[in-house]
Amino acid sequence: MHADGFDLFAGDICVLKHRTHSPAFAIGTGTPDMEMVRGNFRIDDNLDLRLPLDCFADDKGAIRLWCSERPDAILGIRVDRDARKLALRIRCTDESINRLWVDMLCAEDEAFWGGGEQMSYLRLNGRRFPFWTSEPGVGRDKSTKLTQIMDVEGLAGGDYWTTNYPQPTWLSSRNYAVHLETAAYSVLDLTDGMRAGIECWKADVDLELFTATDRTGLVGQMSDRFGRQPPLPDWAISGAIVGLKDGQDTFERFEKIAASGAALTGLWCEDWIGIRQTSFGKRLFWDWQWNAKRYPDLPDRIAALAKRGVRFLGYVNPYLAVDGPLFTEAASLGYLALRQDSDEPYAVDFGEFDAGVVDFTNPEAAAWFSERIIGQEMLDFGLSGWMADFGEYLPTDVRLFDGSDPMEAHNRWPVLWAKVNADAIASRGKTGDATFFMRAGFSGVQTYCPLLWAGDQCVDFSRHDGINTVLTGALSSGLLGNAYHHSDLGGYTSLHGVVRSADLMHRWIDMAAFAPVMRSHEGNRPADNLQLDSSAEFLAHFARMSQVHARLAPYVRALSDEAVATGLPLQRPLFLHYDDPAYYDVQDQYLYGADMLVAPVVEADRTERDVILPEGEWVHLWSGAHYTQGTHSVAAPYGEPPVFTRKDSKFAPLFASLTEEFGA
């Protein structure tokens, strides 16, 4: 404490200085100006008042701040410490105050990472990151024609910061982390190189600080704080999961893929509940029950697959189509979120059809969805996994059972949705056996969601929405306690002439083999796009890489066990183990555990790429050639993405067997 303010330390690092002549805190009032179109948001603020808090008092260790122009609005700060963290409990005496600004310090050479699942930039410095779960957008680059077209078509272009999974948590290269404990809309502003600015649309928040002696310890603390995932099931990591949505023809196609020699442990049919054709493409019928017309003998098919060691996976999301029977059932029970102006269920426009919102703030509604739908219609039916989609669509003008502000409930919604899924699996005693994967998230989703997927990439190599964003998403989210990550092999979004090239398919097959889960997707317009079974060449390549993926299962199992014990993610940025500023911005290659380095080709028409190897002796997986620290130009034909292993790894015999079997 000082006579006119105070300093805040993370360990021995001063991260905040507040003085009456230079306040680090300000409060104010504002009114949101928001527009939502199918999960895409335009967010502006009508700011009425901003008051720098230029008065300070030390109240027996607690802190009181206020503005000389408005002494009635006092910001009280209590400092709590425990073995895990230091927390500032920030509360305002004036309930009308709904804006808070905090300026934290940063060193000139300090790097920041995190922010949830960021798709464009791993290092956050120099940019502004709002934390609001939403559709990430199509294109995500305002300079491109595709993004501009999509912006006109319903605010759907996105930007570098738009993401399904934001989280107001960031890690520093100086081995401390900051978490803003609130579900309110907030922003991290790193556009000024000497400050880390925080803006929050709520004045009652907790600001948490964590410190560690190294980054692995810091990431472990993030996992301790937000939740630890169960181990991935053996079946999910020991072969590929093929995604097909072709009704009865699915099974003939699956057998063709299996006959290619592919190592298959799962068949994912998101259309198990039926299809709704729209202008966007082939959509699903959002009533979460087996569609016997599209799959007339599905129970027998599931049983037959199970005998072969192949699991069946489906699809679900937290909404109910208004023209389906489950909507009627939920409405009759009073389990749907309501309109503000009536007791009618709120209907969300999802593009040529409407759906109701199951109100998860009502414990009975959450339990109903968990048991009635996921438990009975899915797990009891024979599903071993599913895509738990959406979660980011909650409108900000619904009326909720618990009376909470939908502006805050919006960010909490993915966490509530993840819990509904996890509870269903736990109710059947299948935690660690059945699994689900989500794209939406927020602080605390780690407790319930066992597996992330990277959302809906464009089927291309574009800088902000293509194949490369998968790597950034995995690395950024992994720093915050999300151990497992994967993507739609081939990408998803195909609009306005953007379709899969053969080059893209080959590169995505290569990349997917070196993720914890290897799962394909046909995309939103299957008929317009290349598929795994479109050619013998694709089939042969997929078969080879699925076998590589399967052979790596013992290593991935060890990494999964490590994740359970320590919270470390399977896919890691180089700087997690090697403290070199040269690695702070590297986001197109990763450590797969500590003993393998993967550098996928994520640019079009490339036959080689530069690979950065950290200290130590590294072995090229395909040739067995030895490399040392430095940047190397490495050949990268299809089927041989640049992959290196540590010579001194205890898994060296496993890696050597891969070289012998699959090497050039």
Q: Report d(CA 526, CA 416) in Å as an integer.
A: 32
What is the DSSP secondary-structure string of 408-434?
A: HHHHHHHHHHHHHHHHHHHHTT-BTTB
Residue among 456, 465, 510, 595 flagged as catalytic: 456
Q: How far apart are the first and last CA of the chain?
A: 65
Burial 241-280 (b: 16+ CB within 10 A, else e): bbbbbbbeebbebbeebbebebbbbbbbbbbbbbbbeeee
In contact, 135 and 39? CB cutoff 8 Å: yes
Report which residue type is found at 245.
K
Residue among 135, 271, 389, 460 flagged as catalytic: 389
Cα angle: 440, vertex 443, 446; to 5 degrees: 70
The answer to whether residue 389 is catalytic is yes
**C-alpha closest to that of 288 among 413, 376, 353, 221:** 376
Strand 86-92 with 205-211, pairing:
antiparallel
Q: Report d(CA 469, CA 628) in Å as an integer.
A: 28
Q: Report d(CA 165, CA 132) in Å as an integer.
A: 8
Residue among 246, 270, 371, 392 flagged as catalytic: 392
Distances (CA, A) of 454 to 74, 166, 191, 256: 43, 13, 26, 28
The answer to whether residue 456 is catalytic is yes
Q: Report d(CA 597, CA 36) in Å as an integer.
A: 41
CA 575 to chain centre: 20
Positions annotated as catalytic residues are 389, 392, 456
